[in-house]
Structure 1
Amino acid sequence: MLRLKSICVLMLATSALSLISYPVKAALINFNSQGNITAIKGLQIKDNSYNVEFVQDTFSNLFGNPSNLTLLPTFWLDAEGAKASINAIDRILETTYPSVIASDKTQGTTDYIIPQQSASPRVATIDEQGNITYLPTNLFGGLWGNYSNYYQDRQRDELYNTLCQINVYCSVNIYRMINPEIFAGTDINSPRTFAIFSPNANKLIPEPSNIVGLGIMGILTLLISKKIRYKFI
């Protein structure tokens, strides 16, 4: 009796747990009229959801000087978060090939940067006593998205497939770099394509059907429990 009752309750509990899990929503990709990618909405990075906008500008216009920031880049103090965000973006971009990131209305790019403090170059002077003085620098560092490598290898793959059809070359593997590259020593006044992050305000909430399902699971658990009890008493 106890075993049968336990099995029934366990099955219902498992069903209830599956109902209360939040629905996973896929990230949405925004394109301009030229078919280039302008933004990614609802990108999951670790435990947080972000909206990502690709902006071509200079570091100084967006954030100021590394030694005197006017706006703190989202992952400036979070090296692991910067790596996770690069990998999350690249995985999304791989699904959009051959679309590229919009750099302006007519041109696109496969490169983008996420500014990160630990990748920033440090310029210093050492006096006669060996004292080190770090100087303000007009250079910034960050992590460089690897989508450019993936994109180029996809193009190479297509070329080799064409050659294969005429029995010229028939062996190719798409290579994707997993670890983001450090992109250090870039002038803060040099235009680059940046990934700009903002928190995604759309919170995931349980769907109404899930709430109803929970109620049904609870009632069934109670009824089955009583039925088994009365049957064996």
Structure 2
Amino acid sequence: MFNSIYPFSVSATAKISSIISIVVAIAATATPVTALQLFYSSPGNVSKIEDFIVDGITYDVTFKNDTFFNIFGNPNNTDFLKPTFWDNQNLAKTAVNNLVPLLNNQKPVPTQVNNSPSVLFPYRGVVASNGNLFLVSKVSSYITQWNDFQGESQDIFTQGNTIANYAIFTPKTATKTIPEPQVSAGILGTVFIIAANRFKRKVRE
């Protein structure tokens, strides 16, 4: 009897170990599903966006109507607070490309963001021939729907002391999700019960 059981126990152990390894691997790689959320200060007027993803990074996005200098400071000064996409035109464009369909897919489509029909994504500073500093931004603006241009341009030039509606991106800290202990224990328990029942049936045979 011992010899007839021994080959099965080795096989059963290998199968159980394999199943457990798969379960553990799935549990270890489990990640949460975060739902992007839009917040409104009034009907049709978006005030904040949570869990907005740009190039794989998740942000909370707020908006501020003020001058560039008041929000970020002067790019020529050491205390300048760089906008998230500063010196990265492609990412600024990606952010706009992600925002436009998001707004247009809402039911109903919002007509304002922070009480404004447009929002700017600053990415560069340019000094004019007269010495004035202009900020270059990508734009999302509403006419009959949201677009990535204003007039015929995808770039908007504003002076540092001109009030405009700027998007402010705050990256969210990434956290590794650990599955709930009772869920993992339940899965492993089920695996052991199934394996034990099969083992008992084999022994009786």
Give the TM-score of the pair, scaled to structure 1: 0.61
Q: Give 1:26 shift.
A: 1.3
Number of residue pairs matched? 188
Q: Give 1:113 shift.
A: 0.9
* Unaligned segments of structure 2, at least 5 residues: 1-7
Residue 182 of structure 2: which of 181, 196, 212 is its match?
A: 212
Separation (CA, whole Å) in 1 of partners of 2:188 and 2:69: 58
Separation (CA, whole Å) in 1 of partners of 2:144 and 2:85: 27
Other-structure match for 1:170? none
Other-structure match for 1:101? 112
* Unaligned segments of structure 1, at least 5 residues: 125-134, 155-175
Mark the CA change 1:220 to 1:49 in structure 2 (over 3 Å): closer, same or farther.
same
Alignment of 1:47 with 2:19, yes or no, is: no
Other-structure match for 1:131? none
Deviates more, 1:8-17 or 1:187-196: 8-17
Q: Give 1:16 shift.
A: 6.8
Cα deviation per residue 1:208-229 (whole Å; 9 max; x = unaligned)? Answer: 3xx3222222233344455556
Q: How does 1:87-126 map to 2 (within 5 A)?
A: 87-96=97-106, 97-104=108-115, 108-109=116-117, 111-117=118-124, 120-121=125-126, 123=128
Instruction: Tell whether the 8 Å contact from 2:39 to 2:47 is kept in structure 1 after alignment.
Output: yes
Separation (CA, whole Å) in 2 of partners of 1:33 and 1:21: 37
Instruction: Tell whether the 8 Å contact from 1:31 to 1:37 is kept in structure 2 after alignment.
Output: yes
Instruction: Tell whether the 8 Å contact from 2:64 to 2:114 is kept in structure 1 after alignment.
Output: yes
Give the TM-score of the pair, scaled to structure 2: 0.68
Other-structure match for 1:73? 83
Which structure ranks higher in relative contact order (CA pairs < 8 Å, sequence separation ≥ 6)? 1
Other-structure match for 1:152? 144
Q: Percent identity among equivalent residues?
A: 21
Q: How does 1:221-232 map to 2 (within 5 A)?
A: 221-225=191-195, 228=198, 231=202
